[in-house]
Amino acid sequence: MPVAASRRILIAGGGIGGLALAIALARRCRASLVLEGRAEFSPAGAGIQLGPNGVRVLESLGVAALLAPHVGVPEAVHVFRGGTGRQLAALPLGAWIAARHGAPYWVAHRADLHGALKAAADTHDLIEIRNGFEVSSVRQTDAMVEATAGNGARETGAALIGADGLWSAVRAAVAPGVTPRFAGASASRVVLARDKAGRLAANTVGLWLSPKAHVVHYPVRGGAEIAAVVIAEETWQSRVWDAEADRVQLAAHLAAFDESLANVLLAADGWRRWSLNRMDELPTWARGRTGLIGDAAHPMFPYLAQGGVLALEDALVLAGLLAETGREAEALASFSEARRARARRVQEASRRNGWIYHLAGPMGLARDAVMAAASGERLMAGLDWLYGWRA
């Protein structure tokens, strides 16, 4: 086996986590080969929220400056009662959160984030990206790991990291038999021009609460567009992340919301949707020279907007542990132990948010009263443990 192949890290998946890991490794003088199943990267995608913990990772990777011209920097999170449009709370972002945590709160289009990561990766000679290589099986020994694609192509390296998402193929080599399960809900997304967004065009994150659905929206593309997502309980399920949304079902979900929101969203074209899934906690994220990061290891519900950010955190931590050649299995085991409690806490907080968002009847009214009475600063301070994270 060539010397370069014996030292390089194989990364299955060229998404947010995979590219961030490749960049972080290159900055520590370790080569990587990114194996991406898609024949080419797609500009499709939805919005993504990047708390200060995520922006700090991007700064450390040299990616933040590339992304900055394309982000939105919302001033606050405005929480509304879905059926009436009445504002319940204003939670500070903008200058307040940047001063508190030493980094801003950004919102962006996923394609812009991926583009910035790809542009940064392309500047590193130690990073090779191979499209059209979808890992289907893994073989490892004490000295190496081999990834095989569906077409029979093979690549070897010192370690293999599964950054291949919710339906990870690499996960079978780490935790056989563990698969995601449908969670009884879907997320439908759209991006619309700011001049067609009505009250959604404010420079804020809007959060609208209703018993069986909630809506989130925020500015992307430097404020020129507004990304919106409707998360609702429903029986439709699919493994496809970019399925066409059912307009009749979408209209039924939005019927519970004030027309100042519903009418704007129903007038928008290009709605896509995906199913929400849950997965049992894995007994470990690493086995020998094979490990997992991001959704492959700990899929997140979107109720705390931390799925992509946790993948960024994972990448930075793992790259630091893999900096020393020859101790890959030990580094992966240490990574699993170091990150599991953090991921578990974020998962639990996200599930709790989802429960709170969809409260109905007297409990929903009580939630609204508490949010209206509490100061926004106090509510945001309760998330210092989340946004204050540093590697």
| Residues that are catalytic | 218
The label of the residue with tokens 């894995």 reads 282
| Percent of residues in the chain assigned helix, strand, coil, to nearest 5 | 40, 25, 35
Structure tokens at 120: 């940064």
Task: Using DSSP, state whether 185 is helix, strand or coil.
Answer: strand
Task: Using DSSP, state whether 333 is helix, strand or coil.
Answer: helix
* Other beta carbons less than 10 A from residue 136's beta carbon: 16
Cα dihedral 34→36→40→46 (10° resolution): -100
With both helix axes pointing from N to C terminus, report the angle between 52-60 and 307-321 in degrees, rounded to the nearest 10. Answer: 40
Contacts of 202 (CB under 8 A, 6+ apart): 78
Task: Using DSSP, state whether 310 is helix, strand or coil.
Answer: helix
Contacts of 168 (CB under 8 A, 6+ apart): 12, 13, 162, 292, 295, 296
CA distance 161 to 185: 29
Q: Residues 76, 80, 82, CA angle at the centre, nearest 5°? A: 145
Q: Of 103, 1, 8, give the one whose Cα is nearest residue 50.
A: 103
Structure tokens at 31: 């080569």
Structure tokens at 37: 């199943």
Category of 13 on φ-ψ map: left (φ > 0), alpha (ψ -120 to 50) or beta: left
